Amino acid sequence: MMLSKPLSFFLIIQSASAAVNLRSLQSNADESLATTMMMFRSWADTHDKEYTTEEEAMDRLKIWMENHERMEAHNNQVPKPSFTLGHNEFSDMTNDEFQQRFRLGIYSNTEAQMAKKQAQKLVNSDAASASKMARHLEEINPLDLPEQVNWVALGGVTPVKNQGACGSCWAFSTTGALEGAKFVHTGELVSLSEQNLLDCDHTDMGCSGGLMDNAFKFDEKTGGLCSEEDYPYKAKQGRVCLTNCTDVPGTIVSTFYDVPPGNTQTLMAALSMQPISVAVQANQFVFQFYKTGVLTDDSCGKAGDLDHGVLAAGYGTDSETGEPYFLIKNSWGDKWGENGYIRMSRKSKNQYGMCALLKMASYPEVV
Ligand X SMILES: *[C@@H]1O[C@H](CO)[C@@H](O)[C@H](O)[C@H]1NC(C)=O
The residues annotated as belonging to the active site are 169, 308, 330
Residue closer to ligand X by CB (options 231, 325) is 231
Residue closer to ligand X by CB (options 228, 323) is 228
Residue closer to ligand X by CB (options 146, 232) is 232
Q: How far is the CB of 348 from ligand X (least distance, A)?
A: 44
Binding site for ligand X (CB under 6 A): 230, 242, 244-245
Q: How far is the CB of 335 from ligand X (least distance, A)?
A: 29
| Preceding amide of 324 cis, omega within 30 | no
By Cβ distance, which residue is nearest to ligand X?
A: 244
Distance of alpha carbon 40 from alpha carbon 60, whole angstroms? 10
State the maximum Cα–Cα separation within the chain, in Å, rounded to a whole number: 66
Distance of alpha carbon 100 from alpha carbon 90, whole angstroms? 12
Residue closer to ligand X by CB (options 247, 307) is 247
Q: How far is the CB of 199 from ligand X (least distance, A)?
A: 11
Dihedral angle over CA of 190, 193, 196, 199, nearest 10: 180
Type of residue numbered 323: E
Q: How far is the CB of 35 from ligand X (least distance, A)?
A: 48
Q: Cβ(254)–Cβ(181) under 8 Å?
A: no
C-alpha gyration radius of the chain: 21
Distance of alpha carbon 168 from alpha carbon 187, whole angstroms? 27
Backbone φ, ψ for residue 235 (5° rounding) = 60, 20
